[in-house]
Structure 1
């Protein structure tokens, strides 16, 4: 299994990692430590199997001239019956286009026709905590809603990750966006 993720500028990444650490220190969520070297991100696509060399070649073509895009997180959300808490970005034209252009250009790789990351199913989000009890979800929500105001950042890179092995999600290839 593979994922295509959008990565943030250093300041935004560190702010979200700080929140992950604080939730761990308060014994609310251990999400940050569940995956080695986890990075804050927004998932754009998922794939069961890939021809890596073809996919990477397409990443070079698609993202070669893609500019960095601004992102703003001002919403906290949860998926129903999931125990997940996330920051949701404002869905701007640039974010929609980045996502839809990916799916247009990578359509031949789509081997998961019911993926939650396809354009008509996608709910963009950056996970803050996962698999929480109702009590811990409430604690995490209350903490995060008081911890920070809107987060202004940038998507500066896209990366292909391998999520085949539990506890690991190494970056196989990444492409920095134009500044």
Structure 2
């Protein structure tokens, strides 16, 4: 990094904090480290909120750009992955067909949510670069209502997604070393502007892992979210 501009000082500061906390890149956990199980092939299920087309394409272009710049290819290469906010993650849903009926019923009664992404940040423990949304009452309410409706699945759920622990975000890159995190931040920072979008769809996504690497993320089924909510301030 050369020069002494506000952006260079920002990423240098991030780099120093990151290296101090995690001096050994090998010690960094991938985003999939929230899963307490490891096996040759591992399946989990995520409940994901999907965006309108313009914002989805905006995120996809970032994934593509990080890949083309040889900074990070992990999000770009996950099969069938869509930009999203994760609402819940389960190590098992024993009866997908019964859950499907309840899933359609719940999301058929909620409204779409206007959302603003104005934060670009990193989770150091997982090397995850992400967009953070403005956390509105509508977003928190949807999360709480979902967990109230599906409280019987709590024993199967990853604790980071339950009410009180949830940190909503849209992932741009994962498993970054300290150096990669700085380069990825610089790439996204140079043209960063707050983005507005809309949550218009919810899906049940089958997460396929090989050890700690996510290989695929196909949507098993999904439902459009209709109705309108107010714009995030």
Verify the 8 A CA contact 2:47 2:88 in the aligned structure 1. yes
CA distance in 1, matches of 2:157, 2:83: 26
CA distance in 2, matches of 1:173, 1:75: 30
Tell me how far 1:163 sits from its aligned partner. Answer: 0.9
1:34 to 77, 81, 104: 77
Distance 1:7 1:113, change over 3 A: closer
Structure ranking higher in helix proportion: 2
CA distance in 1, matches of 2:148, 2:201: 19
CA distance in 2, matches of 1:165, 1:81: 19
CA distance in 1, matches of 2:178, 2:144: 34
CA distance in 1, matches of 2:129, 2:123: 7
**CA offsets, 1:9-38, max 9 Å, x none?**
000000000011111111111023331021
CA distance in 1, matches of 2:133, 2:75: 20
CA distance in 1, matches of 2:222, 2:196: 22
CA distance in 2, matches of 1:102, 1:54: 16
Tell me how far 1:114 sits from its aligned partner. Answer: 5.1
Verify the 8 A CA contact 2:110 2:226 in the aligned structure 1. yes
1:177 matched residue in structure 2: 225
Segments of structure 1 that go 5 or more residues without pairing to the other structure are none
Tell me how far 1:148 sits from its aligned partner. Answer: 2.4
**What is the count of residue pairs matched by the alignment?**
179
2:197 matched residue in structure 1: 153
**CA offsets, 1:115-149, max 9 Å, x none?**
21111111000110111111110011121122220
Segments of structure 2 that go 5 or more residues without pairing to the other structure are 1-43, 228-233
2:122 to 65, 73, 78: 78
CA distance in 2, matches of 1:46, 1:111: 11
- Is the radius of gyration larger for structure 1 or structure 2? 2
CA distance in 1, matches of 2:67, 2:49: 24
Provide runs of 4+ in structure 1 moved above 3 Å: none
* RMSD, aligned α-carbons: 1.3
Tell me how far 1:165 sits from its aligned partner. Answer: 4.1
CA distance in 2, matches of 1:144, 1:48: 32
1:103 to 120, 132, 147: 147
| TM-score of the superposed pair, with normalisation by structure 1 | 0.95
**CA offsets, 1:22-66, max 9 Å, x none?**
111111110233310211001000111111012111111111121
- Write the mapping of 1:138-149 to structure 2, written as runs, cut at 5 A: 138-149=182-193
| TM-score of the superposed pair, with normalisation by structure 2 | 0.74
Distance 1:163 1:156, change over 3 A: same
CA distance in 2, matches of 1:117, 1:176: 22
